[in-house]
Structure 1
């Protein structure tokens, strides 16, 4: 009996790692909600109520520093410091505002994709089209209101896959996607989530050796998984697809192989630092407060003093018997846990969390800072390059549903490209002055100087375009 919920062995091996990274990136509330999963209970064999209550206090005092999540956010911010270059034919203009049918634009899909890559080194892009006959012209296309959609899939939702060799090319022949469908309750307010599986296959059909099919599996009234009607999508010209319009996206390459997530080492250190923090805060709580003591007294005096009230502090007289003495004691500081935390903090900075401590960059030479950037950006660059390639491929698949001949579209007509210039130079007054002087001398355009003052970045344009701007400013035709 077939089991649509079967998980690929590589998926099963990595799913728990992905979940751990997701939890750490979510922050302190999520990590603490998992309790003993990330912070073991002292004396775990002791199941008494007192020990459980002591653990709750132990957990509450622990401090989780959100290093991994902050590093992730900073890297995504670096990748999207400038808007991606996005070009598309008129039939795909909807992708700029709603690429996946759920209101996310192509830009937002790409941002989420980079987030997945940094966390998991893996995500998926899948293109589909409503179950209608593809429109034959733009007017019919708009009337039909059926648009090709690009779906970004988290690695945890692609549970199974397989490949075959067709004409010396490796092609995906199976992709199983877990989906959650939400439906409003009968009361109009409640919501119920239902799980289903979308199965994409490359299989023989009639006279065709290998064509693409889609089938939905959902639970029937008896709770068993039941296959829906199998569909065979066609492109704009009515031809069946000879491949599955799905691609994995990775940071090393866009194959179906799973590689070690780049944030895994930082995640493990972040959790180790969290456990050290719990030990340190525990020692602070129990040993950080001073302890008062009285010597040379008997129990009779102590009982009488308790009745009167014992007060310690400035301007308070504490009467003592002859040879009685009051004092204060405090244990030596426990630095072991603190030192362990400091060591792990330094290691986390070396692994990419340099933005957490604001003053750290000032302690480094320019060469050292550039080297740190290069280490982080080498991972980010790979993610960006592969996301650009995958998004461009997905665009062509989407166009295949609405354009007669996709091969005629050039990169000037259809392109998605995230910039790889992560280190923005920022505004420099001296450079602005030099641009202005060059414009006065006719060697640069005032337009370039103005754009630099507005954005802090040197304008990106071809030499020929700059020459035209200079000549237009010289003869006064720039606004004509």
Structure 2
């Protein structure tokens, strides 16, 4: 039995290296330069150290993995997500974590981390304000900070009964600061949810872990009967660890970088033209050594009978260059094609087909994020006594929808003839970008009822002639 709050699950420790690899590759060259091999590692001389330093400096890193991640983010957030909450929870739109980060910005960061590691976490905390009431906040945790978890059967359902999160808060240290390590235990007990914070005590914080804070978050209706924490995965939101969507591209990207280092090294040592002279006698060699050899169109070179001068240069199609081209093509096939401009024009149907393979993983991640945030907002409402329906939806229309005036006219005519409801028409117009996603039907109806610009609206959506009016 382990009473150590810093205990790490075996399946967690097995994937740390993979997570670190993908995050380093996405971060850029400064984070992966140490992953290049060492030339003649047995040679500890200063000359070999200088050669290895130059070997790393000459290498060129093409960050296809990071650009692919950014391209996927752009596809998901080229339209604002839609947030459906009652007035009491509208503050989440501008301040979801209590530090001024909007729920839109926060969800972008979550998608970025899910694409890198295939795993993230959302925790809902509740703060009692001065006076009456309080407010909920949504906090995010990287995969590396979710070190332990456990599930159990409660009322016939498997639910989270324990989650341990590693945190590194900053504390004042004179004019500077220092970071300390602590562990936040989220546990489900018989009475409900409890949160404990563990820190090390003793000299230089190297002693045993002890509880420094214990609280039972209580909202309007008392303690929660579940842990307000949800995993966000690439495949689903259960506690199991999903594979990183970008791992395969990252590994090929590293191989491409190593090939680049070898190629640039060969270019430096062999790429420059090497002059050669043949047919020299000993006297000519001595003469040239004394006077020097100048190469160029304005420096004619005198040679003995049967002497020759020329340049030696390697062929351009080297093996390393071909290996780089192969890996580049592999990255394109795995999803990096979104950062390579197509030279041929394509129809909308062809564009949809080309993007389907790349966006299928993205669609799964986006759906999981939408589901996780909807659940987190629901917990925010439970703390604050809100029972209204809530929802958060990140865009899943990765191919831009367009509509010409004739199509819009046809849609409005279909609605006027009772083909579908006004709410359905507005929902489609939001997808087309003709109605801002954050504008609700209630807001639109209210503005229409207050219009005094001579459009002749006697009622919401009905004109003076009794026919359906403006949607």
TM tier, shorter chain?
0.7 to 0.9
> Normalising to structure 2: TM-score of the pair?
0.84
Deviations 1:142-182 (A, max 9, x none): xxxx4211011111111111111111111211111111111
CA distance in 2, matches of 1:454, 1:122: 30
1:226-245 to 2 correspondence within 5 Å? Answer: 226-237=210-221, 239-245=222-228
CA 1:260–1:198: 2 relative to 1, 3 Å? same
Please tell me whether residue 75 in structure 1 is matched to residue 76 in structure 2. Answer: no
Identify if the C-alpha distance between structure 1 residues 471 and 304 changes in structure 2 by more than 3 Å, giving closer, same or farther: farther
The answer as to 2:410 corresponding to 1:409 is no
Alpha-carbon distance between aligned partners in 2 of 1:2 and 1:56, rounded to the nearest angstrom: 47
Cα deviation for residue 304 of structure 1 reads: 4.0
Is 1:255 equivalent to 2:238 in the alignment?
yes
1:274 aligns with 2:262: no
1:78-477 alignment, distance < 5 Å: 78-130=75-127, 132=128, 140-141=132-133, 146-186=134-174, 188=175, 190-203=176-189, 209-222=190-203, 223-224=206-207, 225-237=209-221, 239-359=222-342, 362=344, 369-403=351-385, 406=386, 408-410=387-389, 414-425=390-401, 431-432=404-405, 435=408, 457=433, 472=463
Q: Is the 8 A contact 1:79 1:422 kept in 2?
A: yes
Q: Give CA deviations for 1:215-259 in whole Å, capped at 9, x if unaligned.
A: 11112233222211322121213x222211111111221110112
Q: SS of 2:5's equivalent?
A: coil
Q: Is the 8 A contact 2:352 2:399 kept in 1?
A: no
Output the CA distance in 1 between the equivalents of 2:20 and 2:56. 21
Supply the distance in 1 between the matched residues of 2:20 and 2:178 (Cα, whole angstroms).
23
Q: Contact (CA 8 Å) 1:252, 1:382: kept in 2 or not? A: yes
Distance 1:182 1:133, change over 3 A: closer
Alignment CA distance shift 1:134-1:259 (3 Å): farther
- 1:367 positional shift: 6.0
Q: Secondary structure at the match of 1:56?
A: helix
Moved more, 116-125 or 65-74: 116-125
1:317 deviates by 2.3
Secondary structure in 2 matching 1:346: helix
Q: Give the match's secondary structure for 2:218.
A: coil
> What is the CA-CA distance between 1:443 and the residue it aligns to?
8.2
Give the conservation status (yes or no) of the 8 Å contact 2:193–2:217. Answer: yes
User: Are 1:179 and 1:197, in contact at CA under 8 Å, matched by a contact in 2?
Assistant: yes
For 2:202 and 2:362, how far apart are their aligned partners in 1? 47
Q: Is the contact made by 1:134 and 1:402 (CA closer than 8 Å) also made in structure 2?
A: no
Please say if residues 416 and 468 of structure 2, whose CA atoms lie closer than 8 Å, have aligned partners that are also in contact.
Answer: no
| Residues paired across the two proteins, number | 442
1:18-37 superposed matches below 5 A: 18-32=19-33, 35=34
Question: Quick check: 2:85–2:388 contact (8 Å CA) kept in 1?
Answer: no
Match of 1:447 in 2: none
What is the alpha-carbon root mean square deviation over aligned residues? 3.5
What's the CA shift string for 1:321-340, capped at 9, x where partnerless?
A: 44433222223335211111
User: Is 1:51 equivalent to 2:51 in the alignment?
Assistant: no
User: How far apart, in 2, do the equivalents of 1:151 and 1:349 lie?
Assistant: 35
**Change over 3 Å in CA distance of 1:454–1:104 after alignment to 2:** closer
Distance in 2 of aligned mates of 1:46 and 1:57 = 16
Residues 4-54 of structure 1 show CA distances to partners (whole Å, capped at 9, x for unaligned) of 21111111111111111000111112111xx1xx22223333333332222
CA distance in 2, matches of 1:48, 1:196: 43
Q: Are residues 133 and 236 of structure 1, via their aligned partners in 2, closer, same or farther at CA, if it must alter by over 3 Å?
A: farther
Q: 1:170 to 1:455 in 2, by over 3 A?
A: closer
Unaligned 5+ runs, structure 2:
418-427, 449-456
Instruction: Measure, in 1, the Cα distance between the counterparts of 2:298 and 2:409.
Output: 72
Distance across 1 between alignment mates of 2:66 and 2:409:
42
Question: In structure 1, how many angstroms separate the alpha carbons of the residues matched to 2:299 and 2:461?
Answer: 84
Pairwise CA distance, 1:210 = 4.4
CA distance in 1 between partners of 2:355 and 2:416 (Å): 34
Deviations 1:290-322 (Å, cap 9, x if unpaired)? 111222334554444344342211122223344
Q: CA deviation at 1:370?
A: 2.8
The separation in 1 between residues aligned to 2:84 and 2:130, in whole angstroms, is 22
What is the TM-score of this pair, normalised by structure 1? 0.82
Aligned to 2:11: 10
In structure 1, runs of 5+ residues without a counterpart are: 204-208, 445-451
